[in-house]
Structure 1
Amino acid sequence: MQTQPTKQDIQQLFDRLAPVYDSPATRFFPFCADRLVNYVKPRPGTKVLDAATGTGAVAVAFAQALGQEGRVMAIDISPGMLDKAEANIRKMAIDNIDLHEMDAERLDFRSGYFDSVVCSFGLFFLSDMVGALREWKRVLKPGGKLAFTCFETTAFQPMLDDFAERLQSLGANLPQGPFGARRIASLEHCRELLHDAGLVDTAAECVQLGYHLRDENDWWEVVTSTAMRALFERLPASRQEAFRKEHLAFVAQQNNENGLWMDVQTRFASASTPE
């Protein structure tokens, strides 16, 4: 068993994922971005930090909501992701987003600069989650809002449990203890993280962002387009094809007349800085 992935591991993984991250099968990312805007309700003309922006889905959604007088600073540790985000932003003809390669746990912004800080499906990749939230709190104005999203334990089930259990049974060298999204255990844990970072008015709720995929091949696209790919790659190369066939045979059994239901139950958590 190995320890949690390092920052370098995460950077290299997302550099590899950047060309395929905007897959139609993973459209829950832009779905979540739109819901996050409605959840935060940023005021037009304000400044927002998007931590771990990835290919920019959240940055684009907030930039559109803020209007030309507002500004989004979008950061990521992966140059590959930022390159893809820049291409997406150009395609949308948006000019109120600034992209920066930056560690979300060590920000290069002055204190009290932003009206809002948001992070979609990124907090659980950071080694010190409370420390990161404290750093995000530092750059918020008094009364500013911080919000993040993460997956509920039901998300991607039953496919995800079969994926993880089958990997382990075939000798994949998986991290010790809870890893990835499972590092955030519940809605209560979301509120505890925010409270421990010194934030107030904590809140958390679940929203279903799921949809039907066409079949098990779409599910494999989800696997290979997201951080699940890193777990698959921990399997010895000689066993990967057998794993893929066996796992997809299980997934095919979950199909119905509407296709393959993919649960994407998502936690939305928020808090404010003290006035």
Structure 2
Amino acid sequence: MHEDTEYNPNLKGLTADYFDRRSETYDQDAIHPKLAFVIIKHARLEPGLSVLDVGTGTGRLALHAAKLIGNEGSVVAIDLSSEMLTQAHFKAGMESLTNIQFIQGDAESIELEDGAFDRILCSSAFILMSKPQKALKTWNRWLKPGGIVSFDAPGEPFGINTVIAETAAGHGIELPYATLANTTDKCRKLLEASGFEMLEVSQELMQEHVMNLDDALAVWDKSVAHPAWHKLAQLPAKTLERIRLEFEARMKAASTDSTVTSRIVMNVVTGQKSAVQVVK
């Protein structure tokens, strides 16, 4: 298992710019509301808890958590994108929620108090961490003893993106977005290496639908534009074109009557920090 993903010094800026552009349409994606619901379910929220939402985006997870923990509890929600946070602020205001603090910043470099939170939640953002193993260790430090972390990562299969990742791997290009935590065993190792006990890895079918072949092939451009796939975008043009052509050939070979079935599975990972503090 790789300790961390390969760091791109421009990744943070690429990520912020990408999600700034997507802010007004982000909530139209059918998968994100489902993921937020499942993460909330596994996080075991209750009134009075303190919650950190990493990569809050438009605030869907933070708002849901704020309602469940009530005014006795509190939510800190962090995101790189100012435009996504604009949407989150608006929604919180519309619902008169006053127990949320929104922070624009990098969750991998921000300084927060050790042992400050009962729960740390992260929806659709764990795989965007430049150093995911280090991030998990930091989250462990930020949690109170017995605190719970819940996050998601692409499972198997991950729709058309699985074919892209497999094709790239055949050219020696590993895409951590697709392979970081795609199995239960990898999820367990990530948690245990960061000081967590694994409570559960829930494999959730987020979407299953039949696509026409042209729409399936168009996933390529969307994926390469996503910051999580930045390793593809950085390849020399000829190498990227070879991978694209092979991807298209594989999709055409797999199609039936010019259609392709896409199944998207997400792993929702829940871990717990030991309730016993070790004195060093």
Kindly tell me: are residues 97 and 180 of structure 1, through their superposed partners in 2, closer, same or farther at Cα, counting changes over 3 Å? same
- The counterpart of 2:19, out of the listed 17, 38, 44, is 17
Kindly tell me: are residues 61 and 223 of structure 1, through their superposed partners in 2, closer, same or farther at Cα, counting changes over 3 Å? farther
Identity of aligned residues (%): 23
Give TM-score, length-normalised by structure 1.
0.76
CA distance in 1, matches of 2:90, 2:9: 24
Say whether 1:28 aligns with 2:41: no
Aligned-pair distance for 1:190? 0.8
Q: Which amino acid aligns with 2:31?
A: F
Give the structure 2 partner of residue 37 of structure 1: 40
What SS does structure 1 have at the residue aligned with 2:10? helix
Aligned-pair distance for 1:138? 1.1
- The counterpart of 2:102, out of the listed 87, 99, 106, is 99
Give the structure 2 partner of residue 181 of structure 1: 178
Kindly tell me: are residues 195 and 29 of structure 1, through their superposed partners in 2, closer, same or farther at Cα, counting changes over 3 Å? same
Give the structure 2 partner of residue 131 of structure 1: 134
Q: Conserved in 2, the CA contact under 8 Å of 1:111 and 1:139?
A: yes
What SS does structure 1 have at the residue aligned with 2:266? strand
CA distance in 2, matches of 1:267, 1:250: 24
Give TM-score, length-normalised by structure 2.
0.75
Extract unaligned runs of 5+ from structure 2: 276-280
Superposition RMSD on alpha carbons, in Å? 3.7
What do residues 192-234 of structure 1 show as CA deviations (whole Å, max 9, x unaligned)? 1111111224432211111437755597596588547857755
Q: Which amino acid aligns with 1:144?
A: G
What SS does structure 2 have at the residue aligned with 1:106? coil
CA distance in 2, matches of 1:255, 1:83: 43
Q: Which amino acid aligns with 2:129?
A: L
What SS does structure 2 have at the residue aligned with 1:112? coil
Aligned-pair distance for 1:128? 2.3
Say whether 1:270 aligns with 2:270: yes
Structure 1 stretch displaced more, 104-113 or 36-45: 104-113
Give the structure 2 partner of residue 140 of structure 1: 143
Kindly tell me: are residues 99 and 144 of structure 1, through their superposed partners in 2, closer, same or farther at Cα, counting changes over 3 Å? same
CA distance in 2, matches of 1:177, 1:151: 14
Kindly tell me: are residues 131 and 116 of structure 1, through their superposed partners in 2, closer, same or farther at Cα, counting changes over 3 Å? same
CA distance in 2, matches of 1:165, 1:200: 31
Aligned-pair distance for 1:111? 1.2
What SS does structure 1 have at the residue aligned with 2:97? coil
CA distance in 2, matches of 1:54, 1:14: 10
Q: Conserved in 2, the CA contact under 8 Å of 1:151 and 1:265?
A: yes
CA distance in 1, matches of 2:101, 2:121: 15
Count of residues in correspondence between the two structures: 263
